[in-house]
Structure 1
Amino acid sequence: MKISITFFLLFSVFTSCANKNKDSHAIKENLNKPNIIIINLDDLGYGDLSCYGATEIKTPNIDKLANNGLLFTNGYATSATCSPSRFSLLTGVYPWRNKRAKILAGDAPLLIDTAQQTLPKLLNKAGYNTAIIGKWHLGLGSGHVNWNNTITPGPNQVGFNESYILAATQDRVPTVYIHNGNVVNLDKTDPIQVNYKKNFLGEPTALSNPELVTMKWHHGHNNSIVNGIPRIGFMKGGENAKWSDIDMADHFLGKAKDFIKSNKNTDFFLYYAMQQPHVPRTPHPRFVGKSGMGPRGDAILEADWCVGELLKTLKNLDVLNNTLIVFTSDNGPVLNDGYFDEAEEKLGKHDPKGGLRGGKYSLFEAGTRVPFITYWPGVIKSGVSQALVCQIDLLASLGCLVGEEVNATDSKNILKAFTGKSNQGRDHLIIEAKSRTALRSGDWVMIPAYKGNPINSKVNIETGILPKYQLYNLKTDRAQKHNLASENPEKLNAMIKIFKNLKS
């Protein structure tokens, strides 16, 4: 049985990280490394958890991580949308450096170059068995995907020993699970066909057969119908392989538990990419109505329960004390993101943004500032940190922890901040929303002038786009109500200079 790392060894890690070329091999020989789990939720907002101040919803299991670990008030994803955000988390590279790092279609090719450095590759090299379970949404294959054969390249080709994923997203076709490149339960006599431009002859859609729809679409989700839910894109065949939406959370949780059980005596890395509370929100019937906020709130309660069950598994297998858990979200919140599900009507006093401005798709704070918790019994003391941290820094920081060298420009080694040994995180961070970028530096945010709509009317969220520069001091104006660009030209010019230098 593995034992917890001692504070002495952790101190040695910090010292060696500062001199990694000299001491990295010594670290690998002497350090009893922790298991690592990243729990990444989907569209969970900064204010969606009771540990972050929510009063209308209770998330006791996630609160346990926060109350016994380190809760960050300045934790960020790199992007306000999922594919770019997930790209950065796994590669340590800003999404704006890759022109393809946008919200991917369901049939998009793999976004990550198979020769690229990735977090699972790094941990694989350090002796970890690695797995992704849940949402991928980083593309599959190298062009047109044949869903009826082994699909490659994919997660297994960028460092994951095990992958059990959604083909794309829950609201996109094909509505099937993929295990190590193969569609689960596929009947080859009923092959899967997918087209994102044209429907297949005779196949029902939300437009042609609205009587088959049990979840009404609002925008963009009116193509093929599966389990009464209209999706993005057209699909034919693969009936035996189609998932059950209401059982998805249980299904992924079971796979996560199985992976932990089979690796309890080895070092393991689990990227548990949960689908909640992304649309379509389909909580299991035992959670329906429990939040009083409709399916979105119920899905958050379901996700909290999943986290609790995962913690129970770790404890029962006697590996919890030697496990580092990072809890976060891929981007900020959105209420109506394609379906009528009463997320707006039943919101009540709950504020998914937690007092921030914007949301998913936005350059304002609520787009990229997300829940961020680190938990490691016996190593990370409970507390709250104001350090500026980002998911992009997990690559360099975890590389330092396990004694592997990292070649990264964007990812910073802030392991001391992640473990609560320092209040100093990164100095500057470039955030992104739909290919537009802005700068967080210290307590300040600068958003350049952009052409475009200040409101995303489909989801009713402010985009952060204005035809003039914006400058906000988050220390005194957390809600970004007072643009100081004209009042403080010296600070604005200094921010612009930093921004240009970082992007050069």
Structure 2
Amino acid sequence: MRNTFYRLLVVAIIFVSFSCKNSTKESQTAVDTKNNKPNIIVIYLDDLGYGDLSCYGATELQTPNIDALATGGVKFTNGYASSATCTPSRYALLTGVYPWRNKKARILAGNAPLLIDTKQQTLPKMLSKAGYQTAIIGKWHLGLGSGYVNWNETIKPGPNEVGFDDSYILAATQDRVPTVYIDNGHVVGLDKKDPIEVDYKKNFKGEPTAKSNPEMLTMTWHHGHNNSIVNGIPRIGYMKGGEAAKWSDIDMADHFLEKAKNYVKTHKDKPFFLYYAMQQPHVPRTPHPRFVGKSGMGPRGDVILEADWCIGEFMKTLEEEGVLENTLIVFSSDNGPVLNDGYYDEAVEKLGNHDPKGGLRGGKYSLFEAGTRVPFITYWKNHITPNVSDAIVCQIDLLASLGNLVGIDESTTDSKDLLNTLLGKSQKGRDHLIIEAKSHTALRSGDWIMIPPYKGNTINKKVGIETGNSLEYKLYDLKNDIGQQKNLAKENPQKLKEMIQIFEGLKL
């Protein structure tokens, strides 16, 4: 009897001891998770419109993986890129500075020098100071080098010189030469016996182009894209050599996805910042054969589905590697949609009932809303309460907002600290925002938007999109007229005057 009692007592002591130890371990884990800085990932699409996702109202395309971010996070209905074109938006995203303050912040050629000053504060530099590992994988399009670029040697300055510890990029866009990947300043797979030459003014002797050798084309150009041919696709700019280094267009999405997944797997033990800059649905639209015909809307619809799948696979990796719950994800696009942007790919003919603009007016290159209002989602599992926000937020605000998150003050830039808004804790967004399209600017203030008079074509005929240019002021009440159909400038001169004063004050 006594032996039984002692045996039970020993078992009880062991059980209590184990329970206390386990409880202490769980408590410590909770503290560690709370004290750890969250990983930060920006997933950035290229030319994705406000209405291109099912979570933003699309009925002809289903994007379940991006929808999952929206339903599990904050979906912003007034989320903006700074600009209606790619280079300026990417500049603003990384620097927190309005691109119109830099006259060189326009769509860059593939051999343009680095746009960001290496002494300038950037998002990756700031996060590096806070102890983050930093990386970019995907599209860069912010220039490389300081003038002439020797593609056969180390290419710098570039992403590494403005704060990224690791960079695996395509130099400009998929439709521009050089059509090679660059890994931390070195062209991937380059054969030094076949050096790369790039020129944006004249062709190299004997090199085929879309005009001289149309029989080599597998994709037909509509405008602008009639220079060097790579993989049967005509590009902007001329390129010679580097045959072994040229990318495979149909494998690009998979290629960047694997790089992004591998980065997470190899950097998960310390806080990291990953700028995952996807190339879809920018031209040339080259879906992998797995996705060809899946949308019924031609290559443009197919690559949107491809991008959604990639994001789903990437999210699986975050979960499998145990970092999802400690990762803040920001999803957006660099500007609004465009259908025919240089190639005949049936984007117009197979559009059907799909509205990439989501009821907005304009598109890429335009001062109207569809140029800069884009999908904008923040997601942080078990930290963000899912909701929909009408607050005005802009990608330019990531610098100050993430600075607050990691304890660094960046309030001296054009960037505004909207961390609580991005995390869904506040419905207060920006009071005012200056948007830009091809060096022209306009003002969003509250529910109103004002577009000043500008000379120039009212329609970009090549792409079939209204520019927003006219010789008169335009004033719209977006709360009651999201499609910007009624110009109230003459009916409401007092509001127009107020908007002009705010605009001129902010431009100083």
Q: For the superposition of Structure 1 and Structure 2, which TM-score range results when normalised by the shorter chain? A: over 0.9
Displacement of 1:422 in angstroms is 0.5
Task: In structure 2, give the amino acid aligned to 1:169.
Answer: T
Structure 2 counterpart of 1:368: 372
SS of the equivalent of 1:163 reads strand
1:95 aligns with 2:110: no
Question: Which of 169, 173, 179 is matched with 1:169 structurally?
Answer: 173
Q: Answer yes or no: is 1:158 the counterpart of 2:123.
A: no
* Cα distance, 1:2–1:255 mapped onto 2, change above 3 Å: farther
Q: Distance in 2 between matches of 1:37 and 1:186?
A: 30
Aligned to 2:321: 317
**Does the 8 A contact of 1:93 with 1:408 survive in 2?**
no
Query: Which residue of the partner structure matches residue 379 of structure 1?
Result: 383
Q: CA deviation at 1:4?
A: 12
Could you list the per-position Cα deviations for residues 184-226 of structure 1 after superposition, in whole angstroms to 9, with x for gaps in the alignment?
A: 0000000000111111111000000000001000000000000
Whether the 8 Å contact between 2:411 and 2:417 is mirrored in structure 1 is no
**1:33 CA drift (Å):** 1.1
The alignment partner of 1:395 has SS state of helix
CA-atom RMSD in angstroms: 1.7
Change (3 A) 1:4 1:309: farther
**Aligned pairs for 1:76-95 within 5 A:** 76-95=80-99
Aligned counterpart, 2:338? 334
AA of the residue aligned to 1:379: H
In structure 1, the residue corresponding to 2:391 is in which secondary structure? coil
- Could you tell me whether the CA contact under 8 Å between 1:327 and 1:373 is conserved in 2? yes
Closer, same or farther: CA 2–461 of 1 in aligned 2, 3 Å: farther
Instruction: List runs of 5+ in structure 1 lacking aligned partners.
Output: 11-29
CA shift in 2, pair 1:364/1:4, >3 Å: farther
The change in CA–CA distance for 1:293 and 1:3 in structure 2 (over 3 A counts) is farther
Distance change in 2, residues 1:210/1:470 (3 Å):
same
> 2:209 matched to which residue of 1?
205
- Cα deviation per residue 1:244-274 (whole Å; 9 max; x = unaligned)? 0000000000000111000111100000000
User: Which residue in the other structure is 1:259 paired with?
Assistant: 263
- Structure 1 segments, 4+ long, off by >3 Å, are 1-6
List alignment gaps of at least 5 residues for structure 2: 1-24
1:376, CA displacement in angstroms?
Answer: 0.3
Aligned residues of 1:5 and 1:31 also touching (Cα < 8 A): no
Shift of 1:81: 0.1
* 2:423 paired residue among 395, 419, 422: 419
Larger radius of gyration: 2
Deviation at 1:409, TM superposition (A): 2.9
Shift of 1:406: 1.4
Residue 111 (structure 2) pairs with residue 107 (structure 1): yes
Aligned to 1:215: 219
Residue equivalent to 1:396? 400
**Structure 2 residue aligned with 1:485:** 489
- Deviation of 1:167 after TM superposition, in Å, equals 1.8
* Residues 55 and 67, structure 2, Cα contact 8 Å, conserved in 1: yes
Shift of 1:101: 0.2
TM-score, normalised on structure 1?
0.94
* 1:498 counterpart SS class: helix
Q: What is the TM-score with the length of structure 2 in the denominator?
A: 0.94
- Give the C-alpha shift of residue 3 in structure 1: 11
State the number of aligned residues: 484
User: Hey, what does 2:363 align to over in structure 1?
Assistant: 359
Q: Is the 8 A contact 1:4 1:32 kept in 2?
A: no
State the partner residue of 2:438: 434
Using the TM superposition, give the Cα deviation of residue 9 of structure 1 relative to its aligned residue in structure 2, in angstroms: 12
Identity of aligned residues (%): 75
Task: Kindly indicate whether the alpha-carbon contact (under 8 Å) linking 1:48 and 1:354 is maintained by their aligned counterparts in 2.
Answer: yes
Q: Does 1:497 align with 2:505?
A: no
**Offset of 1:5 from its aligned partner?**
11
> Aligned equivalents of 1:108 and 1:101: distance in 2?
11
Residue 13 of structure 2 corresponds to which residue in structure 1? none
- For 1:331 and 1:2, the matched residues in 2 are separated by 45
